[in-house]
Amino acid sequence: MTVHTDIDRSSIDRGTPEKTAVQTVTLEIDGFPVTVPAGTSIMRAASLAGIQVPKLCATDSLEAFGSCRLCLVEIAGRKGTPASCTTPAENGMKVSTQTDRVAKLRRGVMELYISDHPLDCLTCAANGDCELQDMAGAVGLRDVRYGYAGENHLGQAKDESNPYFTFDPSKCIVCSRCVRACEEVQGTFALTIDQRGFASHVSAGMNEDILDSECVSCGACVQACPTATLIEKSIIQHGTPERSVITTCAYCGVGCTFEAELQGDRVVRMTPYKDGKANHGHSCVKGRFAWGYATHKERIVKPMIRKSIKDPWREVSWDEAIAYTAAEFKRIQEKYGRGSIGGITSSRCTNEEVFVMQKMIRAAFHNNNVDTCARVCHSPTGYGLKTAFGTSAGTQDFDSVNDADVILVIGANPTDAHPVFASRMKHRLREGAKLIVIDPRAIDLVRTPHVEASYYLPLLPGTNVAMINALAHTIATEGLIDKEFVAKNCDEAEFKAWRAFVSKPENSPEAFAKVTGVPAKDIRAAARLYATGGNGAIYYGLGVTEHSQGSTMVLGMANLAMATGNLGRNGVGVNPLRGQNNVQGSCDMGSFPHEYSGYRHVSEEAPRKMFEKDWGVALDPEPGLRIPNMFDSALDGTFMGLYVQGEDIAQSDPNTHHVTSALSAMECIVVHDLFLNETAAYAHVFLPGASFLEKDGTFTNAERRIGRVRKAIPPMCGMAEWEVTMKLSAALGYPMHYNHPSEIMDEIARLTPTFAGVSYDKLDELGSVQWPCNEKAPEGTPVMHIGGFARGKGKFVLTEYVPTDERTGPRFPLLLTTGRILSQYNVGAQTRRTENNVWHDEDILEIHPHDAENRGISEGDRVALVSRAGDTSMRAHITERVQPGVVYTTFHHPESGANVITTDYSDWATNCPEYKVTAVEVRLTNRESRWQEDYAELQKRQRIETLAAE
C-alpha cells in the first residue's frame, strides 16, 4: 500500500469495474495474451495487459456507459469499431487498439469535443489534472478544424451555490459520469441529463441550483468528472496538490480512508481512497469537505490555566501547565483520597492516545476511574453482544451487506449518520434486497429514490423491547426457527427457556400493538420476512442503545439473529453502526472502569498480574467510577479532579443542570481539546489538542477495522495527545517511554490477545485489519463467529419488556426523541466551524401537524420545549415524518440545549443515558429559556476572557 506519495496518479483507472467471476476468458490484445474473469470489458482487459485505451465517459468506479466513442477498437472478424468499455472480452478474441482507422476516428471525436470547449487550459484550475487534456494528447490531436463561430456551449453561467465545489457548464462534455456517480455510487439521483442532442446538459433536479437540489454534497460527481466542470473550490483557490498522505476520516464510525492532498502544510483536498476497505473510494460531505475546522482561527494552540473558573485564562508554557495539573491532582488526592480524581477518554482520539490515557489513570492515578463517551452511546452494545456471542463488537464487515437479502434497520439513520455505508446499503437494496425499518421517525431510507421499505414499523419511543419480543413471538410460534443452527450453535436449555418466554401470549404482536403503536399484522409480516427472506442482516444505532432497556434490546436482537440462523456468514449478523470514528477503539483500549484492553475485568487476577508485570506497578482490583458516578461523587464532595480528553460532557451528557453542577463542584478540571468547548467553561486547565491531520496513530471503525491515521502536517500546538499524557504521567511519578505511537501499538498487541497480530508494518502492508488479528487470524477477521461463537455456545437471554419510568402525562404529553443530521457531527465542535452550517445552522423541533395545530404552532414558530428536567426553546418544523405524540430534534448546537431537557434515566446494565425518550410539552413562546439566556451570558464572558488571554 502506498503511504506517502508525490501525488501518485498511478492508481490506474482501468475504465470499468472489476468482475469477480470464477470462470475466465483468454484473448489477445495488440498481440499480447491476457486472461480475465468472464464479463470483464475489453478496456479493462487491455489495461490489465498494460495497454491504456483512450476513454472519457468510462471510469472504473462506474458501470460502462458507452457514450463518448473515444475507446473504439477493432476486433478481428467483426465489422465496425466497437466501444471497448461496453464490449465484454471473449475467449479467442483478437483485439487491436491502435490501428490507423481507430486513431483517425478518435481524433475526430476529440476534435468535436475540443471545438466546443474553452481553450483556457493554462488558467484552468484542473490544468495538469484533466482527462480531456490527457486524452487530447493521447489521441495525438494537433489541430481543430471547426471554429467557435457556430452554436456552442461556451459562456454559460457557473453554479457556485455549493460551498465546496462549482459547476461550470461551459466545460462540460456531457459524459454523464457525474450523473452515474450520483446514482450508482451515492444513490441520491440528484443529477440528470436534461434534453437531447446538442441541447443535452447536466441538470440538478428541475434545473435548480445544486444547493437547492436533492444533492447531499458527497462529492462523488466532482471526483468522477474528467474535466474542470465540477471542481473543488479549494483547488480553484489554491491550485493542485503536490503531495499526499493516506489517512482515516476523523468523523463517523464508518472510518473512510482518504488521501489528504497538500501543498506544503496546507491541505487542499481530501480524496477518498480507492483501496480504502471501508469506503472503496467514496465519502460523505463531512470527510471530503468539512476539514476546515482543523485550521480554524478559534483553535487554541497554547496551554492555559486559571485558579478559579471565575478568573480569566492565562497562557502558560507546556511545562507550567503540566506541572500545575500534576500538583493539583496530587493535592486533591492527598486531601480527598486516591479515588478522588479520574479521567474520560475520547472516542475521537487514536487508539494509542486512549491506551496511554487509561494506563496513566490506572498506573499514575492509582485507581480505575476511567470511563469513555461510549458510556453514553454504545455501552449496551458491548454488554449485550459480549453476553450473547462472547465479543463486544459487531459481527460483520461492511461489505457483508452486499450478500444480505433482508436488511432490518432498527433505531439507526444511516443516510445521515453513516452515509458511506448507507450508500452501499442502498446499492444492495436497489439490487433487490428487502428492507424493514423500525424507528419512531420516518428516516430517509423508508422511501428514497428506487428504494422503499417493505415494512416500516413506526413504534413509539421506548418500546423497542416490546417490538423485538413481538417479532420473536411470531418467529417462535409460526415455526420459523432455524432449529439446525440453534441445535448446533446455542445453549439448548437457554434456548428452550427463551422460546417458552417469547411464545407467551403477552409477548404477541397483538398484545404489544397498543404499546408499540404498530398494528400486529405489520409486526408479523416483518418477522416472517426477516426469518424467511434469505440472509437477514440487522443494523442498529443509538435508537436501540440509548434507552433504559438498551442492553435488553441488544440481547433481544442477538436472540432473534440466533433463532433464525442469521449469524456466522456473509450477508447476516447483528451490526452496531458506531457513532464516533474511534468509539469501538476507545472501548477496545480499556477505557471502561472495570476492564483492561481486550475487555478483561480488573478483578480477574491473571490479566491484572500481566498488566502489573508489564507496567511495573500495582493495580487496583476494584472497578472505578463510571461517568454518572463521577458526577454524583463530585456533588457529594468526594470526586474533585477530572481530566477530559477530547469530549464535551457539558453539552453531550444528559441533564445539563446536573452535569454543570457537578463540574462546578470540582477543584481541578482539565480539558484537552481543539477548541474552548462547553466543558471548558468549568475547566481550570486547558491543554490544546492536535487534529487527526497532525498526528500518527490508528482508529478502529464500526466493523472492527483498524486503520492508520498518518501525520500530514505538524501539530499546531507542538504535541500530540499521547505525548501530553506521557508528560503528565511522568510529572505524577509514573514515566512512560514511547518514541512513536507504533511502540504504543506494540504494547497493545503484547497485552491484548485480539490485537496480538497488529503492528504498523502490517497495517502499512495490508492497508487495514479487522480484529481479532492474531495467530489464528494473521490478516484479521472480517466476519465473526463462523462455525461457532467466540464464547462457545450462543446465549439466549430472556428480555422482559419493562416500560421506562419516563412517562407521558397531562403535564408532559409528548415524547421527545433525538438524532443526527448529515451535515453536522455530534456536538458540532468540528462541523459548526465549517461551511456545513449552510445546511443546518440551528437545531429544529420536528412536530406532527396535529400536535402543532392543537398548540397553535405554525411553521418556523419559536416553541418552548419543557421536560421534568428543564426547558429550552427552538424553532418548530411541522412534518409528518414524526407521528402524533412524538417530537424530534438534533443536538448539534449548544445554544439549543437539547440535553437540558433529557433526564437521568439510564440503561439498567451500563448506565447509558436514556436520551431517546423524554416526556415533554411544547408550547408557543417568543423568548429564549432562562437556561439559554444564562448560556449566552456565559459565552459572552468566555469570549471576553479569551480576548483578554490573547
Q: Which residues of the chain form contacts with ligand FES (CB under 6 A)?
A: 55-58, 66-71, 83, 85
The cell 468523523 sits on which residue?
251
Sign of CA dihedral 812, 817, 823, 829: positive
The CA-CA-CA angle for residues 724, 730, 733, to 5°, reads: 145
Please confirm whether the linkage preceding 772 is cis (ω < 30° from 0).
yes
Least distance in angstroms from the C-beta of 857 to ligand FES: 54
DSSP labels, 778-830: TT--SS--TTSBTTBSB----------S----SSS-EEEEE---TTS-TT-TT
- Whether residue 256 contacts residue 248, with contact meaning beta carbons closer than 8 Å, is answered with yes
- Match 418548530 to its residue by C-alpha cell: 876
Least distance between ligand FES and beta carbon 47 (Å) = 12
Q: Which lies closer to ligand SF4 via its Cβ, residue 183 or residue 371? A: 183
What does the per-residue mask of binding to ligand SF4 show for 500-539, with x meaning CB under 6 A?
----------------------------------------
Q: Which is nearer to ligand SF4, 211 or 730 (CB)?
A: 211
> What is the Cα–Cα distance from 701 to 722, expressed in whole angstroms?
20
Residue 287 contact, options ligand FES, ligand SF4, none, Cβ 5-8 Å cut-off depending on partner type: ligand SF4
Given strand 370-372, what is the order of strands in its sheet? 314-315, 304-305, 685-688, 668-673, 641-645, 341-345, 370-372
Nearer to ligand SF4, 93 or 178 (CB): 178
Site track 275-304 with ligand SF4 (rule: CB under 6 A), x = hit: ----x---xx-xx-----------------
- Rounded distance between C-alpha atoms, residue 776 and residue 752, angstroms: 14
Instruction: Report the greatest alpha carbon distance in the chain.
Output: 93
Nearer to ligand SF4, 386 or 427 (CB): 427
User: Which amino acid, 226?
Assistant: P
Binding status of residue 163 toward ligand SF4 by CB under 6 A: no
Q: By rule CB under 6 A, what count of residues binds ligand SF4? A: 40
Which of ligand SF4, ligand FES, none has residue 69 at its interface (CB below 5 to 8 Å by kind)? ligand FES
| Nearest-10 crossing angle of helices 464-477, 520-532 | 60
- Of 77-85, 122-130, 182-190, 448-456, which segment contacts ligand SF4 by CB under 6 A? 182-190
Question: Could you say which residues in the range 537-566 bind ligand SF4, by CB under 6 A?
Answer: none
Span from 218-226, 231-239, 796-804, 812-820 in contact with ligand SF4 (CB under 6 A)? 218-226
CB of 230 to ligand SF4, least distance (A): 5
Q: Which is nearer to ligand FES, 132 or 724 (CB)?
A: 132
Q: Is 229 in the site for ligand SF4 (CB under 6 A)?
A: yes
Q: How far is the CB of 891 from ligand SF4 (least distance, A)?
A: 17
If one asks whether residue 481 binds ligand SF4 (CB under 6 A), the answer comes out as: no
Q: Which does 283 bind (CB under 5 to 8 A by kind): ligand SF4, ligand FES, none?
A: ligand SF4
Q: By CB neighbour count within 10 A (0-12 exposed, 13-18 middle, 19+ buried), where does 873 fall?
A: buried
CB 412 within 8 A of CB 418: yes
- Which residue in 65, 113, 251, 324 binds ligand SF4 (CB under 6 A)? 251
Q: What is the DSSP letter of 102?
A: H
Strands of 328-474 (E only): list them.
Answer: 341-345, 370-372, 406-410, 434-438, 447-448, 451-452, 455-457
Tell me the three cell numbers of residue 560.
Answer: 432473534
CA 872 – CA 864 distance, rounded (Å): 6
DSSP single-letter state for residue 247: E
- Using the minimum distance from each CB to ligand FES, give the nearer residue, 132 or 917: 132
Q: Which of 29, 36, 83, 254 is the binder for ligand SF4 (CB under 6 A)?
A: 254
70 binds, among ligand SF4, ligand FES, none (CB under 5 to 8 A by kind): ligand FES
Measured between alpha carbons, how far is 110 from 345 in angstroms, rounded to an integer?
57
Rounded to a whole number of angstroms, the minimum distance from the CB of residue 85 to ligand FES is: 3
The order of strands in the sheet holding 697-700 is 697-700, 705-709, 768-770
Q: Parallel, antiparallel, or unpaired: how do β-strands 341-345 and 370-372 relate? A: parallel
Nearest to 445 by CA among 467, 416, 471, 404: 416
Question: Of 46, 246, 256, 863, which lies in the binding site for ligand SF4, with binding defined by CB under 6 A?
Answer: 256
Q: Which range touches ligand SF4 (CB under 6 A), out of 74-82, 226-234, 671-679, 729-737? A: 226-234
Compute the least distance from the CB of residue 56 to ligand FES, in Å.
5
SS3 857: coil
Q: Which does 83 bind (CB under 5 to 8 A by kind): ligand SF4, ligand FES, none?
A: ligand FES
Nearer to ligand SF4, 688 or 707 (CB): 707
Whole-number minimum distance, CB 174 to ligand FES, in Å? Answer: 11
Q: Rule CB under 6 A: is residue 186 a binding residue for ligand SF4?
A: yes
- Phi and psi for 279 in degrees, rounded to 5? -125, -15
Closest contact distance (angstroms) between CB of 235 and ligand SF4 is 14
754 binds, among ligand FES, ligand SF4, none (CB under 5 to 8 A by kind): none
Q: Are 351 and 701 in contact (CB under 8 A)?
A: no
Cell, residue 537:
442482516
| 255 belongs to the binding site for ligand SF4 (CB under 6 A) | yes
110 near ligand SF4, judged by CB under 6 A: no
Q: Which is nearer to ligand FES, 96 or 532 (CB)?
A: 96
Does residue 744 belong to the site contacting ligand SF4 (CB under 6 A)?
Answer: no
Work out how close the CB of 692 gets to ligand SF4 at its nearest, in angstroms, rounded to a whole number: 10
The interface partner of residue 340, options being ligand SF4, ligand FES, none and the CB cut-off 5 to 8 Å by kind, is none
The residues near 739 (Cβ < 8 Å, ≥ 6 apart) are none
Among 124, 125, 190, 882, which residue sits at the site for ligand SF4 (rule: CB under 6 A)?
190
Q: Indicate which of ligand FES, ligand SF4, none lies near residue 58 (CB less than 5 to 8 Å, by partner kind).
A: ligand FES
Could you give phi then psi for residue 872, rounded to 5 degrees? Answer: -145, -170
Of 187-195, 707-715, 786-794, 835-843: span binding ligand SF4 (CB under 6 A): 187-195
Radius of gyration of the chain (CA): 29
Asked whether the beta carbons of 698 and 763 are under 8 A apart, the reply is yes
Residue 235 CB, nearest approach to ligand FES (Å):
24
CB of 289 to ligand SF4, least distance (A): 9
Determine if 68 is a binding residue for ligand SF4 (CB under 6 A). no
Choices 8-16, 214-222, 362-370, 477-485; region in contact with ligand SF4 by CB under 6 A? 214-222
Of 885, 706, 742, 733, whose CA–CA distance to 813 is shortest?
885
Residue type, 9: R
The least distance separating ligand FES from the CB of residue 13, rounded to whole angstroms, comes to 11
Ranges of H-type helices in 390-463: 414-417, 419-430
- Cell triple for 218: 458527497
Q: Is residue 899 a contact partner of residue 652, using CB atoms and an 8 Å limit?
A: yes
Q: 262 with 241: CB under 8 angstroms?
A: yes
Residue 215 interaction partner, one of ligand FES, ligand SF4, none, beta carbon < 5-8 Å per kind: ligand SF4
For the CB of residue 896, give the shortest distance to ligand FES in the complex, in Å.
49
- Enter the C-alpha cell of residue 111: 476534435
Exposure class string for 772-793: b at 16+ Cβ within 10 A, else e: bbbeebeebbbbbbeeebbeeb
- Give the DSSP letter of residue 297: T
Decide if residue 219 touches ligand SF4 (CB under 6 A): yes
Site mask for ligand SF4 (CB under 6 A), range 381-420, x = bound: --------------------------------------xx
* Residues lying near ligand SF4 in the complex (CB under 6 A): 172-178, 181-182, 186, 188, 190-191, 202, 215-221, 224-227, 229-230, 249, 251-252, 254-256, 279, 283-284, 286-287, 419-420
